[in-house]
C-alpha cells in the first residue's frame, strides 16, 4: 500500500571523470565579505573563475539556493550546481546540520536527474553521514494517486559523495544507517500523505504489517471486538462514531541480546473531524495527518530493527477515525479507560489524549525502562512553538536525553514544564478526570492529562516518561525547504533513533 522512495548512496575518492554523474554539486558559503566557494575537487583555475563570477551570477550562498551551470570538463558531468550552505566563516567548519540541509535541498531540487555527486567538505565520517542522510531525505516524492506522470519528476536515484574518507572502515555502516533512516522517514511521510479514503484504521494496521515484512518484528492487531472485550474505552470511545472501526497495533522488536527496553506510543487518528465537537471546515483536510505520531513510532521501531540495535523496542499504534454520527461519543459522556480509570469527555475534539491514554496504560503493563509518546496533540503547540519546533514534556531523565538526541539529529524540539497548578483544572465532578482543562498552556495541560496514565515499574516507582507534541512540525503547509518536502515531514523518527543509540552508548 505504501510506495516508498529510496536512493542508492555511495562514496568516491577518485577523479570525478572516472565516476560520471548527471550533476556535480559544490557548496557556497555566506561569509562576512560575501559568498565564497567551500572546499571542493575543482582545479584552482576553475575555482578562481567561479569565484570571480559568483556575484554576477546572483549566487549568495543562502540556504536552499541551487544554481545550475554548464558542467566543467574536469567533472565528467553535464551540470555543475552551486548550492548554498548558509553562514560560514571562511576556513571554518560547516555544521553537520548545514551539510544535511544543503545536500537534501540540492537533491530535492535536482529531481528528474538520475545521478548526482555531492562534493561538499567532509572532515569526518560524521560529515559524510550527514550529507548522505540529507540526500536520502531529499530524494522523496509522493505521486501514487496521480493518474498521469506528465510534468512530474522522479527523485534522484543514485547519490555519490565525493570524500577523501571513502576508504574509511566506518563509512559503509554510516551510509547504511543514512539509507535506513531515509527509508523510515520517507515511509512516515507517505503514511501521513495518504488520503483518509485510503488510510483508515484497518488499512493502517495492514500497512504496518506490510512495512514490517522482512524484519525481525512481531505485529499484533486488536480489532474492535477485542478492544471492546479487553476494555480499551478510550480507543473505542473515539472510534465508535465511524463506520471504520478502530484498531490497536503492537509492533515488537525483541533481540536476544537486548540491554534496554523502551515503549513508544503513537496517536493514530486517521482523520479528525472533531467528532460531535466538530471542527471548522477551513483547514480540516489537513486532519488526515492526525495519525503522524503512530506513523513515527511504527517506523522508528522498524529502523531500530533494521539497524539491529540491542534494545527491546515496542510501538503501540492507537488508531481510530474521529467522526460525528449517531454512535459517536457526546460531550459529557464518561469513558472507562484501559486499566479502569474514568474520563469525562467535555470535548470530543480532545480525542487524541483518550486513545493515547489506553496505549500508555498498555505499554506500562510491560514495565519498560521508559515510555515516550508521540502525538499531533494540540493546536496550542503551534501557538507556543510554531510550525517547526516540537514540544517535549515529562521526566527530566527522558526529556534531557531526548533534547540532546534531537540536537544531534538536527531536529528542533524544546522542553516545556508541567506546572502542578494545571492538574486541578482537569478535575471532573462525575469521573476521575476530565479530558480538557485550563485553556491557556493547553499543550502542557494535555501532557498533564497523559501523565495520569503512566504506570509504575516493578519497584513501585513511576516509569520514566516523555510526551512529544508534533502538531506543527509533522506537516508542512508551506514551501519545501532543506530536506523537508511539502505535507508530511517524517519528523521525530531520527530523534528517537538517536535517543536509543545514545542510551546504548
User: Out of 240, 288, 353, 494, which one is annotated catalytic?
Assistant: 353
DSSP per-residue letters across 113-150: BSEEEEE---SSHHHHHHHHHHHHHHS----TT-S--T
Whether 146 is catalytic: no
The residue with cell 506522470 is 149
Is 267 annotated to bind ligand?
yes
Q: What is the largest CA-CA distance in the chain?
A: 80
Residues 6+ apart with CB under 8 A from 473: 387, 388, 389, 390, 411, 412, 489, 491, 492
Residue 90 has a CB neighbour count (10 Å cut-off) of: 10
The region that residue 86 occupies, defined by phi over 0 for left and psi between -120 and 50 for alpha, beta otherwise, is: left
Rounded to whole angstroms, the Cα distance separating 378 from 336 reads: 23
Is 89 annotated to bind ligand?
no
Q: What are phi and psi of 282, to 5 degrees?
A: -65, 120
DSSP per-residue letters across 422-451: GGGGG--SSSSEES---STTHHHHHHHHHH
Q: At what angle do helices 493-504 and 396-409 cross, to 10 degrees?
A: 110
Q: What are residue 372's DSSP bridge partners?
A: 264, 466
C-alpha torsion angle, residues 200, 412, 106, 115 (rounded to 10): -60
Whether 279 is catalytic: yes
3-state secondary structure of 231: coil
Is 149 annotated to bind ligand?
no
In angstroms, what CA-CA distances link 225 with 109, 204, 222, 240, 426?
Answer: 48, 17, 8, 11, 30
Rounded to whole angstroms, the Cα distance separating 170 from 154 reads: 31
Grid coordinates of 275: 467528532
Is 272 annotated to bind ligand?
yes
Cβ contact 406:500 at 8 Å = no
Rounded to whole angstroms, the Cα distance separating 234 from 342 reads: 10
Grid coordinates of 272: 479528525
Is 290 annotated to bind ligand?
yes
For residue 95, the 8-state DSSP code is P
User: Out of 260, 279, 403, 423, which one is annotated catalytic?
Assistant: 279
Residue 66 has a CB neighbour count (10 Å cut-off) of: 19
Nearest to 123 by CA among 143, 101, 95: 95
Give first-to-last CA distance, the chain, whole Å: 36
User: Per residue in 429-451, is it b (16+ CB within 10 Å) or e — as a string?
Assistant: eebbbbbbbbeebbbbbbbbbbb
Grid coordinates of 154: 522522479
- 102: enclosing H helix or E strand: helix 96-109
Grid coordinates of 502: 545514545
Catalytic residues: 279, 353
Q: Which residues are annotated as a binding site for Mn(2+)?
A: 267, 272, 290, 349, 351
Amino acid at each position: 500500500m505504501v510506495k516508498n522512495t529510496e536512493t542508492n548512496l555511495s562514496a568516491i575518492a577518485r577523479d570525478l571523470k572516472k565516476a560520471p554523474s548527471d550533476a556535480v554539486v559544490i557548496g557556497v558559503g555566506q561569509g562576512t565579505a560575501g559568498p565564497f566557494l567551500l572546499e571542493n575537487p575543482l582545479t584552482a583555475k576553475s575555482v578562481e573563475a567561479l569565484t570571480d563570477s559568483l556575484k554576477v551570477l546572483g549566487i549568495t550562498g543562502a540556504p536552499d539556493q541551487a544554481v545550475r551551470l554548464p558542467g566543467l570538463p574536469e567533472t565528467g558531468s553535464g551540470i555543475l550546481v552551486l548550492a548554498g550552505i548558509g553562514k560560514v566563516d571562511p576556513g571554518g567548519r560547516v555544521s553537520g546540520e548545514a551539510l544535511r540541509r544543503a545536500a537534501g535541498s540540492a537533491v530535492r531540487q535536482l529531481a528528474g536527474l538520475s545521478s548526482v555527486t555531492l562534493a561538499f567538505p567532509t572532515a569526518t565520517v560524521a560529515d559524510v553521514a550527514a550529507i548522505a542522510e540529507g540526500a536520502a531525505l531529499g530524494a522523496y516524492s509522493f505521486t501514487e494517486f496521480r493518474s498521469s506522470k506528465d510534468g512530474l519528476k522522479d527523485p534522484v536515484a543514485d547519490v555519490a559523495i565525493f570524500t577523501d574518507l571513502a576508504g574509511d572502515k566506518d563509512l559503509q555502516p554510516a551510509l547504511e544507517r543514512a539509507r535506513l533512516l531515509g527509508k523510515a522517514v520517507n515511509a512516515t511521510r507517505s503514511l501521513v500523505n495518504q488520503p483518509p479514503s485510503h488510510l483508515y484504521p484497518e488499512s493502517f494496521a495492514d500497512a504496518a504489517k506490510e512495512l514490517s515484512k522482512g524484519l525481525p518484528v512481531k505485529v499484533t492487531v486488536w480489532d474492535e471486538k477485542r478492544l471492546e472485550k479487553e476494555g480499551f474505552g478510550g480507543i473505542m470511545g473515539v472510534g465508535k462514531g465511524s463506520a471504520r472501526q478502530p484498531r490497536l497495533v503492537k509492533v515488537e522488536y525483541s533481540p536476544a541480546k537486548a540491554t534496554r527496553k523502551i515503549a513508544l506510543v503513537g496517536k493514530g487518528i486517521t482523520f479528525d473531524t472533531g467528532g460531535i465537537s466538530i471542527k471548522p471546515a477551513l483547514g480540516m483536510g489537513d486532519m488526515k495527518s492526525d495519525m503522524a505520531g503512530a506513523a513515527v513510532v511504527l517506523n522508528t521501531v522498524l529502523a531500530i530493527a533494521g539497524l539491529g540495535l540491542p534494545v527491546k523496542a515496542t510501538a503501540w499504534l492507537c488508531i481510530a477515525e474521529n467522526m460525528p454520527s449517531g454512535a459517536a461519543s457526546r460531550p459529557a459522556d464518561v469513558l472507562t479507560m484501559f486499566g479502569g480509570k474514568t474520563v469525562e469527555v467535555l470535548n470530543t475534539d480532545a480525542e487524541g489524549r483518550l486513545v493515547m491514554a489506553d496505549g500508555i496504560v498498555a505499554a506500562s503493563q510491560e514495565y519498560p525502562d521508559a515510555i515516550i509518546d508521540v502525538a499531533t496533540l494540540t493546536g496550542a503547540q503551534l501557538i507556543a512553538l510554531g510550525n517547526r519546533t516540537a514540544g517535549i514534556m515529562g521526566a527530566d531523565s527522558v526529556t534531557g536525553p531526548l533534547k540532546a538526541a534531537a540536537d544531534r539529529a538536527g531536529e528542533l524540539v524544546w522542553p516545556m514544564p508541567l506546572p502542578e497548578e494545571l492538574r486541578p483544572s482537569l478535575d471532573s465532578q462525575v469521573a476521575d478526570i476530565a479530558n480538557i482543562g485550563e485553556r491557556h498552556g493547553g499543550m502542557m495541560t494535555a501532557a498533564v492529562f497523559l501523565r495520569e496514565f503512566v504506570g509504575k515499574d516493578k519497584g513501585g516507582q513511576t516509569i520514566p516518561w516523555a510526551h512529544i507534541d508534533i502538531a506543527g512540525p509533522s506537516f508542512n503547509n508551506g514551501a519545501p525547504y532543506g530536506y523537508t518536502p511539502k505535507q508530511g515531514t517524517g519528523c521525530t523518527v531520527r530523534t528517537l533513533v538517536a535517543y536509543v543509540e545514545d542510551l546504548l552508548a
